[in-house]
Structure 1
Amino acid sequence: MTQGISRRQFIAASALASTAIGGASNAQPTTRGSNAVLADQTFEQGAWCHWLDERASDVATGVTWGMPWPRSKHSPRTPFALRDRDGKRVPLQTWPLAYWPDGSLKWTAHAIAPDVTLTSTAFQIEPGQKGPAPTTALKVKQDAGTIEVDTGVMTCRVLRNGAVCIDSIRRGGKDLLTAGRLIALRQNMPLEEADSTVSVETFESMIESAEIENEGPLRAVIKITGHHSRPKGRRWLPFTLRLYFYAGADDVRVIHTFVFDGEESRDFIRGLGLRFDVPLVDELHNRHVRFVGENDGVFGEAVRGLTGLRRDPGVEARQAQVAGRKVTSIGPKVADGLELIPAFGDWTLLQPTADSFQIRKRTGLGHAWLDSSRGGRASGLGYIGGPSGGVAFGIRNFWESHPAQLDIRKARTERAEVTMWLWAPDAPPMDLRFYHDGLGQETHEKQLEGLNITYEDYEPGFGTPVGVARTSEMRLWLLDATPVRERLVQLAAAVRAPAAMVAVPQTLHQAGVFGGTFALPDRSNAKQVRIEEQLDFLFDFYEKQRDQHSWYGFWNYGDVMHTYDADRHTWRYDVGGYAWDNSELSTDIWLWLYFLRTGRADVYRFAEAMTRHTGEVDVHHLGKFAPLGSRHNVMHWGCSAKQLRISTALNRRYYYFLTADERIGELLREQLEAARTLRTVVPERKLPEAQDRVRESADGDYARLGFGTDWGSIAGAWLTEWERTGSREMRDRLVASMRSIGSQPRGFFTGGGRMNLRTGAFDISKDQALNVSHLSAAFGLPEVCAELIELLKIPEFERAWVQYCTLYNAPSEQQKAALGESLGELNLGQGHSRLTAYAARMKRDPALARRAWEEFYAGRAGFAPDQRFETQRITGPAVMNAVDEAAWVSTNATAQWGLAAIECLAFTADLS
């Protein structure tokens, strides 16, 4: 059932727009972020997209994004064109991302090159039209040993084997970058004892495959996979490196992923990064080093400085060197003694914490470092080169993902060496060991006792980091000369917040994607105004909490905390299962639905960071727990509850379809057979009632799944694959599982069953007992069921789900009448009001819609109806740093309240 946008909704939403898209292209984005519900009624129809920050970036880069389409609207053969509001069309590359069941396009991916001039802020995707041919087209060629990409500005040569991934990048007939390879430093032990014998080994990338993952006239993606290794030695830390190229571009976007497969007690990563060489031909005084600090601060010096000398080289020489221009004339008294001026070959920008960085330099190995500058939060961009060309290089989320480091070495020689350290070697080594010794919890009984005290689900051997991953983003610019400082600031901004194109909320809503689970903001009455203000408050609160409580760091950035400790005025970062949230109760989905309806840039980037984190760090990608995720814990991987509800594809779908991101697509596909791991990692293994249950064969065709957190998650993976590829196998699994759930004696109230892993069908239970959990619908089940019921007409499944939605929060008398007995006291009543609202939509029942709102405002296991959405300022000496406290907030309640508010508004819009 696809809901269209009503005129009332559109007008009310339009009145709220913070700015009308199409304004001045140089308008600065607001601190709060974009509210892109469009104010111009010409956008009411058609497929529109816009710059996320409501302005074109100062640095033109290639951009890729996804666009949704209504069912049965466009065939896969439909051409598309991109035009701005003035009617100008630009070259566009298009490919399909997803299909509706009838084979029509549901999502398409689009790419534009950086060499087009886009002065508008909003654009229409025109079906049935062909855009102009690109003035510059990518050229990709390959042979058995290499892949070569020519953007028209630069040429990159990628190798298919050996340690070097990027053999060279040339511009203007000159090599500006060579020998690009990955580096990992391994330390054998932490520095915990004075007499420890510490050794450090260096590993370099060893390529196992290099392939063209995407190729077109405007965009190409090269995927390189392998391990870090030593000559004739150990191979470990599998990696994936993706290189993104666009026609006419002078930059390369780099996406780096690695998986930890070591032993946490002896494999301490001391450094991890990308290293390359930069050939230098300019004189030492014409070699320029740059680092961009905080905001628009730039550190700029030369390898051999000409300023501050006792003898004056001349004003033109001094000004040219400081500006980064070629020094063509030096006063004779200085020119004759250049060799007596120290030349500094080594430079480092180190960001050891979220709030401080340091810049140092030295003449070379064996000599002391000089402290050069310092600051708070560096942008993470560096440069080495001269008037003959050079390379700007940057790490995204540099300070947020500390410790990070940029190194320039050997700048006095003909070949400087640059390393972008994702984990800084000048910081303490990475320590992934579990944070306690087990506390004597050797039996399931003791572990359950510990769970009752600290909420930590501990089990020996389960708190391992083996299999967790981390994805990072870097960018390289190959430049024909040293940029002016203002340009470096712009490049740094492009690293921090890359240009992004997104579909506008109206287009997303009109397309009917994501099961109609969101509607555009409507402030036509006081009650809805209050809900919108509260939704805004909660997101703004978490964004501020991230900064005040420093939810930053290589392994932490992107996640939020689970529960607050009002006594200490801090989140429970050190208490068992109350620390990192790990997607508990669908935090990810709340944020994405909130973005889809508002278009806010700050929400997008917050949700983007969370998607990167929760899909990588909170999931085991290899080893015995793969590909399951880990429940909330002090350590992201620490909980012994390894579950589908955390690794679920449902948390990644939004970002994938909005961006066409290849790594996220890989993670979605990783989940297709995740249920097989439940044969050996049984979720309910500790429960007394499960002890006598017959275990499934570790290599058999069956596993036991709950209909909520387990099946909802695997159904999300199958649905996504079916949409992406039209896979008959995935569709058949969905149909079989849906039919068998609908045929259970108690429907969804049966709770779960034994599923055939090949077919997806559940055994039909002979047990008439009711089995219901408050968590079943708290991890994406309502959202995936809403989509599936629209896509697959399976009456028995629809009846079972609508029954569950109707009865979960129903009065006990109604439950007894329908089921023969009451369901008793169930939790998360407020969050489940969205189920009641969904039932109201499906039944077209205004009385059910009113009941849904009554449940929402009753606040059971959520936020009370009289709760004031406000914070209290806590200052020293009660706290180390001042915080804005809302002790009434928990992330469980926030996520469920947010989902309930958004979906109750969507499902009951036409029933009030």
Structure 2
Amino acid sequence: MKIHLLPNRSRAGHVTFGGYWSRGEAPADAAFALADASGLPIDVQSAPAAYWSDGSIKWSTHTADAFRIGDEAELSVLPAGAPVPSIGRAVTVEETEDHTGYIVHNGVLSLIVPKPGGASKPAIAMNVMRGDVPAADRIYPVFDLERRDASAEGTCETRSVTHYEGVIDAVTVEQSGPVQVVFRFDGRHIPNPRIIADHTATGPDDPVDMPEPSMPFVIRLAVCAGEKDLKLTHTFAYDGKESRDFLKGMGIRVDLPLTGHAHEHHVHFQTDNGTFHEAAEMFFGNHWDQSPAVLRRQLDGDLPDAELTENLRKAEADLPIWNRYALVQDASSHFRIVKQTKPGCCELTCDRGSRAPGAMAVTGTSGGVMIGMRDFWRKYPGELEVAGLGTAAAQATAWFHAPAADAYDFRHYDTRTYTYTCYEGFDYMLSTAYGVAVTSEATIRLLDAMPKGGQVADFAAQVDRPAVAVGAPEYYHAKRAFGEWSLPAAPDDPSVKPSERWLENELAKAFDYYKAEVEHRDWYGLFDYGDVMHTYDPARHVWRYDVGGFAWQNTELIPTYWLWTYFLRTGREDVYTLAEAMTRHTSEVDIYHFGPLQGLGTRHNVRHWGCSCKEPRIAMAGHHRFLYYLSGDARVGDVMNEVLPVDLTIKRRGKGGDGASFPVDGDLMPTRSGPDWSSFVSNWLTAYERTLDPKYREWIERGVNDIAAAPFRLISGPSFMYDVKTKDLKYMGEDRGTPNQHLQLCQGGIQIWAEVADELDLPVLREMLVEEGSFYTLSAEEKLRRCGDEELAHRPFGWPSLITEILGLAATDTNDEKLGRFTWDVLFDTVLRGGDGGYNPTAYTRDGGGRTEYDIPWNSTNCTSRWALGVIDNLEYIRQWLPDEVPTEVTGGDFFH
């Protein structure tokens, strides 16, 4: 398998990537080799990630030096018995002599990872050494909670901020070299009795007593051979009460031993206008030896303490020491840098700007650290802070939520729902953030000297846009990775029809529009970045950000599948970046990781957790497995485990389907074949291929056989009775009143079932898909003739534009040209009737003047994601029936926006 680095990404550091193999190509115990373009071996650490049912490896995960991979490298399966290439410089892990922790060495640094209770103060790393030079005393999580207590009238609030300390409950060595070591830390925060801030308005003086939340966390620490970087992935989960528990600060802190005097302690912040650089004590003021030339030497690191003049030594005792510096990104387009001498004194504003890359360096005479945060301004409010800069014991903190910003408010936008007007599901309120999470990434690099030149800028770029290694679209397509989808035609192929060129152009324009909308609409923020909005409001020229179920998308109609499939076929880095951000968001913020709703996700709403509908389809593994297998992301692996017991969650709640209350009879509960049972199947398939535990395959096969035994098989859907204990589906009879036949398919059912049929060799499932696709668009008379059931024949099979993949699949498997041409009519109709010939933004100016902006008034994300997937899949299924030219008049079906 040939791999390459994506452009516009870093080419430095180590990168973890996925390898994909045909059935039987890589035995379960296979070893792998990696070689650069000239055939020289590259050190690589490999592990299986998923298996075929015959036990051979389907996906493998590999870690290697990105610089060595370069433009192209070859990943291969070694023949049985072949020697594995030796690792040049290894990273090792061993227990301490007293068994209280682990010692890590990687050739250039060492550190101790304490076990729970193995250190006097909780930490994820201690005694970090750069060779034999101390680099960091301790690295640990920090957290600040703001508590608000409302007055009896609800008009005033008492606010207090409490500092929480991180407690490590479990340490797991997830990987143990030789290229990379990864530790996982599971923990929680406990309150420090000391209240560190108090902002009291009129209202009660004493907070109301209530149990303290623990705000659990999962942190991963990765150390690679020969690198001076410590890579951190930090997941925060919310278990508070929205009415009073507000997120004030959250991050990772490093205790630094700084050598030298205060004037030799430096701080650097990378900004969008170069590097901001000062020292804790600067030789510039009202003194003849404090000249710009002297200050320039000091900032260049060319003024050692031994060379200070007598006058400078006198001045040194009478200069302010700026002990604290902070860069605060309080909006996606604004940051400020402040400094302070000591608590109780004012902050001075040093600088302002738009977007800081998110990197800071703190150094003394023997070095220090750089700290970088990924997506710093995109996931605002973030903060980089150093305290005690003028002392021998500084504290550098990467705040994923800045304490200097307003506390994050998890409350809903109202105290009721609006089902009649705002598409909000049900009348009861179930807007709860209890159990949602958010994941952030940071890197700590050990320095042996003060950084110079563009060193901080280069580091910031590497952290913000780390290397990504992937295979070519042609490779994934040939091996049918993630199912069936098409490749774009070659640009210089004269046989390609004008209509296909037009479709490819529209696919590109649709993606480019959403990429631009992220920036245009400022879809940024710690809990928002990665998601897009659901429906556009042409009257206000905004997305319906404030209208119930029309605001955030929350995976509705699988835009995740659209973006990832579009990446697989194009290999575009910007597509990967948007898809990666969407997966990171939807796998954390939109779903519940613990508690009474574990494994469920929240349907689209103004708040990501706002809708009363809690469904398995939002959280299912299918959304997330693309990133997991392509990048080896361990946190996504956690999430796919967390959603596995979602059917048990639904059973405990006594809810079924769309969140409505249903009677539960023992272990039986009403469940739609799609998108409920199909979501279970997505979870089970992923668990099966990751573990080969036969129960997951048995559960899938049991349900497939139950549906196949129903009078009209999949066409009978969507309602069945589901046995939580046995995983059986029981036929419930036909329901003429259901308007939601399309929901059985449009939420991923087609993709899930088609892949399952192929991977688990279940031809009956493919047959049922073809049967339903062939049946879907028939007239009521023809349906009645085929099925002989009045109820089924007259049930509304609406919105074929949402399920064109199953129409194309049925057309190709039955060689039904009429159905194939009808499918293309629907796809052209969807876009051509929407506006002026497709995804062409139109200009507008807001009332009262202003700059010219652009929108697509007819667009919705439901429409775009379903249309784009339909085109991508049907160019594989029914390309032969594509009309030569773009139709001028089409009557192929519904128009859904």
Task: Please give the TM-score of this superposition, normalised by the length of structure 1.
Answer: 0.88
Tell me if structure 1 keeps the 8 A contact 2:387–2:395.
Answer: yes
1:759 aligned residue (726, 732, 736): 726
Paired amino acid for 1:305: M
C-alpha distance after superposition, 1:91-113 (max 9, x if no partner) = 11111111112222211111114
Residue 283 of structure 1, aligned match among 261, 277, 289? 261
Give 2:200's aligned residue: none
Counterpart of 1:142 in structure 2 is 95
Q: Judging changes above 3 Å, is the alpha-carbon distance between structure 1 residues 305 and 823 closer, same or farther for their aligned structure 2 residues? A: farther
Which of 148, 156, 168 matches 1:189?
148
Aligned to 1:212: 173
Gaps of 5+ in 1: 1-46, 442-449
TM-superposition CA deviations, 1:779-800 (whole Å, max 9, x none): 1111111111112233433322
How many angstroms apart in 1 are the aligned matches of 2:794 and 2:510?
Answer: 32
One of 821, 828, 849 as aligned partner of 1:850: 821
* Unaligned segments of structure 2, at least 5 residues: 194-210, 883-897
Larger CA deviation: 159-168 vs 898-907 = 159-168
Q: Tell whether the 8 Å contact from 1:555 to 1:617 is kept in structure 2 after alignment.
A: yes
Query: Relative to structure 1, is the Cα distance of residues 600 and 325 closer, same or farther in structure 2, using a 3 angstrom cutoff?
Result: farther
1:87 to 39, 46, 53: 39
SS of the aligned residue for 2:403 comes to coil
Give 1:695's match in structure 2, choosing from 664, 675, 691.
664
Choose the corresponding residue for 1:416, options 360, 371, 394: 394
Q: CA deviation at 1:128?
A: 1.9
| Residues 264, 195 of structure 1: alpha-carbon distance in 2 compared, 3 angstrom cutoff | closer
- Listed one character per residue, the Cα deviations across residues 90-143 of structure 1 (whole Å, up to 9, x for unaligned) are 1111111111122222111111146xx527311111222666322210101135
Letter of the 1:712 counterpart: S
**Is 1:201 matched with 2:162?**
yes
In 2 relative to 1, CA 865–71 (structure 1 residues): closer, same or farther, beyond 3 Å?
farther
SS at match of 2:744: coil
Counterpart of 1:639 in structure 2 is: 611
C-alpha spacing 1:757/1:882, structure 2 compared with 1 (3 Å): farther
Q: In the TM superposition, what are the counterparts of 1:420-431 in structure 2 within 5 Å?
A: 420-431=398-409
8 Å Cα contact 1:314/1:331 also seen in 2? no
Q: Distance in 1 between matches of 2:9 and 2:466?
A: 12
Aligned CA distance change for structure 1 residues 520 and 73 (closer, same or farther; 3 Å): farther
Matches within 5 A, 1:834-873: 834-859=805-830, 864=834, 867-873=837-843
The correspondence for 1:392, drawn from 362, 370, 374, is: 370
Q: Aligned partners of 1:881, 1:403: CA distance in 2, in Å?
A: 27
SS at match of 2:247: strand
- C-alpha separation between the residues in 1 aligned to 2:155 and 2:805? 59
User: Shift of residue 764 of structure 1?
Assistant: 4.0
Establish whether residue 222 from structure 1 lines up as the match of residue 183 from structure 2: yes
Partner of 2:875: 905
Task: Specify the alignment match of 2:136 in structure 1.
Answer: 177
C-alpha offsets along residues 340-373 of structure 1, whole Å, 9 cap, x if unaligned?
Answer: 2222110011111111000011122222221100
Residue 210 of structure 2 is aligned to residue 243 of structure 1: no
Q: Which residue of 2 aligns with 1:323?
A: 300
Aligned equivalents of 1:828 and 1:686: distance in 2? 19
Find the aligned partners of 2:161 and 2:851 in 1 and give their Cα distance. 37
Query: Match of 1:306?
Result: 283
- Structure 1 residue identity aligned to 2:437: A
Contact 1:739 1:794 in 2 (8 A): no
For 1:489 and 1:685, the matched residues in 2 are separated by: 50
Q: Per the alignment, do residues 792 and 818 of structure 1 end up closer, same or farther by CA in structure 2, a change over 3 Å counting?
A: farther
* Distance change (3 Å), C-alpha of 1:825 and 1:522: farther
**Residue in 1 aligned with 2:679?**
713
Inter-partner Cα distance in structure 1 for 2:334 and 2:759: 51
1:764-789 Cα deviation digits (max 9, x unpaired): 44558696522111111111111111
Aligned to 1:350: 328
**Are the structure 2 counterparts of residues 717 and 839 from structure 1 closer, same or farther at C-alpha, using a change threshold of 3 Å?**
same
For 1:169 and 1:255, the matched residues in 2 are separated by 18
CA distance in 2, matches of 1:681, 1:770: 25
In structure 2, relative to structure 1, the CA distance for the partners of 1:148 and 1:881 (3 Å cut) is: farther
RMSD: 2.5
Which of 103, 113, 123 lines up with 2:55 in the alignment?
A: 103
Per-residue CA deviations over 1:214-239 (Å, capped at 9, x if unaligned) read: 22210111000011003699451011
300-309 vs 629-638, which moves further: 300-309
Q: Does the CA-based 8 Å contact 2:769-2:806 persist in structure 1?
A: no
How many Å separate the matches in 2 of 1:239 and 1:846?
Answer: 55
How many residues get paired? 844
Per-residue deviation, 1:86: 2.1
TM-score (structure 2 length as normaliser): 0.90
- Structure 2 residue 118 is the aligned partner of structure 1 residue 159: no
Sort the Cα spacing of 1:121 and 1:795 in 2 relative to 1 into closer, same or farther, 3 A: closer
Distance 2:9 2:247 in 1: 40
SS in 1 for 2:826: helix
Q: Which residue of 1 aligns with 2:455?
A: 487
Matched, 1:124 2:67: no
Question: CA deviation digits over 1:595-639, x for unaligned, max 9?
Answer: 111111111111111101111111112222222000000011010
Code of the residue aligned with 1:462 in structure 2: it is L
CA contact (8 A) 2:357 2:376 kept: yes
Contact 2:174 2:184 in 1 (8 A): yes
| 772-781 or 569-578, which deviates more | 772-781
Counterpart for residue 511 of structure 1: 479
| TM alignment of 1:58-69, pairs within 5 A | 60-69=12-21
Percent of pairs identical after alignment? 32
Equivalent runs, 1:316-715 vs 2, <5 Å: 317-324=294-301, 327=304, 329-438=307-416, 450-523=418-491, 524-681=496-653, 694-697=663-666, 701-715=667-681
CA distance in 2, matches of 1:568, 1:683: 37
Retained in 2: the 8 A contact 1:732–1:759? no
Q: Which amino acid is 2:767 matched to? A: R
Report the alpha carbon displacement of residue 547 of structure 1 after superposing the two structures with TM: 1.0
Q: Aligned-pair distance for 1:566?
A: 1.0
Within 1, Cα distance between the matches of 2:815 and 2:540?
Answer: 49
CA shift for structure 1 position 519: 3.0
Aligned residues of 1:313 and 1:331 also touching (Cα < 8 A): no
Offset of residue 532 of structure 1: 1.1
Distance of 1:226 and 1:474 partners within structure 2: 18
Question: Equivalent residue of 2:93, what SS?
Answer: strand
